[in-house]
Amino acid sequence: MRPDPIFLGMGSEGEVYRVGSEVVKTFRPGLPSDEQVRWLERTLPHCGEHMPASSAWTRRGERWEFRYPFEPTEPVTRLEREPLLRFLRFCIREGIVCLNFKLANFRWRRGELYFVDIGQLILPFHLPFFRDLCARAFLLLEHGHTDESLSGVTASLRVPGTLESLPGFADFFREVVMGEAQRFLATAPVIQRSAAPSATAGDVALLVKCCAMDAADLEEQLVHIVGQLSAPRRFGEVVVAVDPFEGPFLRQYRPGDLTSLLRTLKALRSQGTIDRVLVAPRDAREVAALNRRWFAAECEQTHTEAGVPVHPQLWAFEQVKSRYLLQCDADVLIGRSDRGHDYLADLVAACEPEDVIGVGFNIPFPADEAPHPYGAPPGDFVPEVRCGLLDLDRLRALRPLPNSIQNGHLQLTWYRSLQRAQQTRGLRFVRGGDPRTYYVHPPNALKEVPSLIERVRNLVEANALPPEQMGRWDVMGPPERWQYPARQEDVVFLVMGGNIPLEKVERCARSLLVQSRQDFGTIVVDDGSLAHHARAVRELFAGFGRRGTFIHHQVHRGRLSNKWHYIRSLVPRAETLIAVLDMDDYLMHAGVAELLAQVAAGGAELAVGASFRPDKPIKLYPLDFRSAAKHRGAGNVWVHLRCFTRSAFDRLCMEDLNLDGDWIRDCSDYVTMVPMACRTSHHVILGGLLHVHERSTMAGEAIRRNRNRIIDEVLRRNQP
């Protein structure tokens, strides 16, 4: 027997009854629309925290009927702050707005606000509507309004300037949104930054050899070498040996700068990258004494007649107390496919046979190859001077090494002299090793082009070597073979910044790692950060693996230059949707990547979404693609989150991005988005609040004047 309905209430949309164990709302004809019902059917199942989730819609003639299970609840006579904040953040998270916000439409259920006015006034999230909703909630919470008094002021909330002048509202709105952003980040995976290894290879020291010609790139190289080699164990000490000779150099490719080099080493020592700096003495008596100890030769020259250093390196060997010394040139590049590989243990073990005096560092081989056994015929191989392990005890025991004097100089280098000793005594310098750890050596011609050596170093760190590099220690192949991996994904996040605080970079990376859809690509451009900082940034984005391309510029190049070069070279597919994300910003919803994939599949050329600025919490940026070049606001097509296809970007020409013969340095978002909006037709406004835009710097008057000049020029260029 059907129970008698119990009348619960009536509103503008219909009547509500309790029928047994259910609540039934019967709508007036035509309310809500069929389309909205379909949207509510998709949306409400996710909203059980604050709305009826287990519900059913039934069409009875011209009327819709909505049913959901009855639960004991209590009326809401006043709002409480924390439950209200949780409800408002729930609206952001689920992408909805409850326009008819008043106490009568809520019940208390298990300590939470439960919204029961299901109908046409629940809409997809729209930031202006949500801001109005929060204003109504704020007035009920803080200003003592009732439902009746609130209805009289609702219209005034939309008058320009009203909310800006409402005391405390901006702070309240910021608290609402930032609370949801922080809640979202708390769900993201924690990125484990590499700490200094606790284990120490106490009897192994690292010695990096350098000269004045290495000054320009020394900081980058030392951070690279020490960072790549100091895992899973750190060295007993890290030492830099300086040859103080100031030129002319053998195979010179740039002028030397000893003063700059020593200044860099002092800074690196204070930062803890290195432990000691050894500058070889130039005193003739000390040089002669060392040559007698090592070669039984009377010679006061520090270099061979050809200009190869001998004394600086042997003198540095004498200052090291560890038995084993991994010595390398300052220009070598170290690759690691597995930072857990204890390559030092392998090298030391290879030194155990009594006839072995050292081990050459491995060179690249395919990662799936088995380790190559260490070995060498008696008397071979030539000691690896560029990167290799020495048993200093055995080396010292061989002194004096064979050498001779020619024109007042030593005829042989120390390693060629050691090779002679190997040949006469049946000793070996072995080679082999595990392909997980290797080195390559850039020839001087490569180092003459800073952007090229920078790219090769980035690619070695990413283990993205061209095939012809396998089995070779010198960097092989023409420059065009050393290219960053292109991104073939449907959606690519272009993340850009330089010297951004690491806690902000980490937020950005985590907001991407927590996306529900993970088939997007990333291009991360760290533009001009210091070497230590850039290495940490690379580590924070390492979780994207082969889906990520990381680029570090030692010298700042500028956003437009980077966009122009890397979108054109790394995003080959015309339909790929590129989302620009500043490194100090972050996403605040797990469904952003999914939404962008849908936008890309729909063929949109440009897509822009609402962003939240904590410094201007209640400012709105209404989007209008049709007015992109009609006024200075440009329809706000430049706001974050900005997305465009590769084909849309191809509508730009170099002249769009240049002014006064150089790249435009400010307003890069405006400079690119306005002309693309004018030259494309399929545009999409992204729903929801998806992105937090937190500015790191404030613009002074001079910068503002320059930006106004740029904006005026962009508008002039894009007039129809």
pLDDT in tens, 223-250: 999 999 999 999 999 999 999 988 777 7
Instruction: Please state the rounded mean pLDDT for residues 170-180.
Output: 97
pLDDT tens digits, one per residue of 403-435: 999 999 999 999 999 999 999 999 999 999 999
> Predicted confidence band at 679 (pLDDT cuts at 50, 70, 90)?
very high
> Predicted confidence band at 24 (pLDDT cuts at 50, 70, 90)?
very high
End-to-end CA distance of the chain: 72
pLDDT of residue 200: 87
CA dist., res. 682 & res. 696, Å (int): 33
CA dist., res. 495 & res. 522, Å (int): 7
Please check whether residues 541 and 392 belong to one and the same domain.
Answer: no
CA dist., res. 487 & res. 508, Å (int): 20
Which residue type is seen at 668?
S
pLDDT of residue 180: 97
pLDDT of residue 1: 58
Please check whether residues 232 and 156 belong to one and the same domain.
Answer: no
Residue 472 lies in a domain: no
- CA 161 to centroid of chain Cα atoms: 39
Mean pLDDT check: name the lowest of 44-53, 472-481, 677-686: 472-481
Mean pLDDT check: name the lowest of 467-481, 514-528, 545-559, 595-609: 467-481
Q: Which two tokens stand for residue 612?
A: 């939240």
pLDDT exceeds 70 at position 697: no
- Decide: 593 and 487 in contact? Cβ < 8 Å: no
pLDDT tens digits, one per residue of 308-357: 999 999 999 999 999 999 999 999 999 999 999 999 999 999 999 999 99
CA dist., res. 211 & res. 141, Å (int): 70
Containing H/E element for 150? helix 147-153
Please check whether residues 172 and 208 belong to one and the same domain.
Answer: no
User: What torsion do the CA atoms of 622, 627, 631, 637 make, to the nearest 10 degrees?
Assistant: 50
- CA 156 to centroid of chain Cα atoms: 44
From the number of C-beta atoms within 10 Å of its C-beta (0-12, 13-18, 19+), residue 512 rates as buried
CATH number at residue 23: 1.10.510.10
Please check whether residues 636 and 691 belong to one and the same domain.
Answer: yes
Q: Torsions phi, psi of 651, nearest 5?
A: -75, -15
CA dist., res. 554 & res. 526, Å (int): 9
From residue 339, how far is each of 207, 323, 533, 625 by CA, in Å? 20, 24, 19, 49
Please check whether residues 541 and 399 belong to one and the same domain.
Answer: no
pLDDT exceeds 80 at position 634: no
Q: Which of 583, 607, 605 is CA-nearest to residue 593?
A: 607
Residue 138 lies in a domain: yes
Please check whether residues 621 and 673 belong to one and the same domain.
Answer: yes
- Decide: 124 and 95 in contact? Cβ < 8 Å: yes
Cis, bond preceding 52 (omega within 30 deg of 0):
no
pLDDT exceeds 70 at position 300: yes
Positive or negative torsion for Cα 537, 596, 39, 157 = positive
Last-in-domain residue among 186, 213, 237: 186
DSSP code at position 309: B
pLDDT of residue 546: 92
pLDDT tens digits, one per residue of 106-115: 999 999 999 9
pLDDT exceeds 90 at position 156: no
Please check whether residues 41 and 66 belong to one and the same domain.
Answer: yes
SS3 81: helix
Residue 197 lies in a domain: no
What percent of the chain lies above the pLDDT cut of 70? Answer: 99
pLDDT tens digits, one per residue of 499-510: 999 999 999 999
Last-in-domain residue among 134, 154, 186: 186
pLDDT exceeds 70 at position 698: no
Q: Which two tokens stand for residue 636?
A: 């706000």
In the chain, what is the greatest distance between 2 CA atoms, to the nearest angstrom? 119
Please check whether residues 168 and 206 belong to one and the same domain.
Answer: no
Q: Which two tokens stand for residue 303?
A: 């270099």
pLDDT exceeds 80 at position 715: yes
Tokens 């020593």 sit at which residue?
A: 262
CA dist., res. 188 & res. 515, Å (int): 9
DSSP code at position 468: G
CA dist., res. 295 & res. 297, Å (int): 5
Residue 564 lies in a domain: yes
- Decide: 314 and 400 in contact? Cβ < 8 Å: no
Mean pLDDT check: name the lowest of 7-16, 87-96, 224-233, 561-570: 7-16
Cis, bond preceding 232 (omega within 30 deg of 0):
yes
In this structure, the chain runs to a length of 720
Last-in-domain residue among 123, 151, 186: 186
CA dist., res. 242 & res. 280, Å (int): 6
pLDDT of residue 616: 92
Please check whether residues 158 and 206 belong to one and the same domain.
Answer: no
DSSP code at position 190: P
Sequence-ordered list of residues with C-beta below 8 angstroms from that of 702, at least 6 positions apart, any chain:
none
CA dist., res. 101 & res. 132, Å (int): 10
CATH number at residue 633: 3.90.550.10
Which residue type is seen at 441?
H
pLDDT of residue 447: 80
Alpha helices in 190-248 (DSSP H): 218-229
CA dist., res. 356 & res. 170, Å (int): 73
Residue 484 lies in a domain: no
Q: Which two tokens stand for residue 565?
A: 């070069």
Instruction: Please state the rounded mean pLDDT for residues 589-615.
Output: 95
pLDDT exceeds 90 at position 96: yes
- Decide: 457 and 550 in contact? Cβ < 8 Å: no
Residue 470 lies in a domain: no
Angle, vertex CA 316, rays to CA 313 and CA 321, nearest 5: 140
pLDDT of residue 707: 86
Average pLDDT value for the chain: 93
Q: Which of 447, 201, 435, 194 is CA-nearest to residue 335?
A: 435
> Predicted confidence band at 489 (pLDDT cuts at 50, 70, 90)?
very high
- Decide: 620 and 608 in contact? Cβ < 8 Å: no
Q: Which of 453, 216, 475 is CA-nearest to residue 364?
A: 475
DSSP code at position 480: G
Parent domain of 585? 491-717
CA dist., res. 363 & res. 332, Å (int): 11
From the number of C-beta atoms within 10 Å of its C-beta (0-12, 13-18, 19+), residue 540 rates as buried
Half-sphere exposure for 120 (CA within 13 Å, toward CB): 15
From residue 364, how far is each of 112, 242, 442, 476 by CA, in Å? 60, 28, 13, 11
Which residue type is seen at 95?
G
DSSP 83-132: HHHHHHHHHHHHTEEESS--GGGEEEETTEEEE---STTEEE--HHHHHH
Please check whether residues 39 and 124 belong to one and the same domain.
Answer: yes
pLDDT of residue 552: 97
Please check whether residues 425 and 512 belong to one and the same domain.
Answer: no
Residue 459 lies in a domain: no
Q: Torsions phi, psi of 302, nearest 5?
A: -85, -20
pLDDT exceeds 70 at position 696: no
From residue 216, how far is each of 208, 213, 500, 622 by CA, in Å? 16, 8, 23, 48
Q: Which two tokens stand for residue 218?
A: 């020394």
Residue 477 lies in a domain: no
SS3 563: helix
What percent of the chain lies above the pLDDT cut of 90? Answer: 79
CA dist., res. 27 & res. 40, Å (int): 14
Per the model's pLDDT, the better-predicted residue between 633 and 556 turns out to be 556
Please check whether residues 178 and 222 belong to one and the same domain.
Answer: no
From the number of C-beta atoms within 10 Å of its C-beta (0-12, 13-18, 19+), residue 162 rates as middle
Number of domain units in the chain? 3
CATH number at residue 247: 3.90.550
CA dist., res. 80 & res. 11, Å (int): 25
- Decide: 206 and 347 in contact? Cβ < 8 Å: no
DSSP code at position 466: -
CA dist., res. 310 & res. 566, Å (int): 44
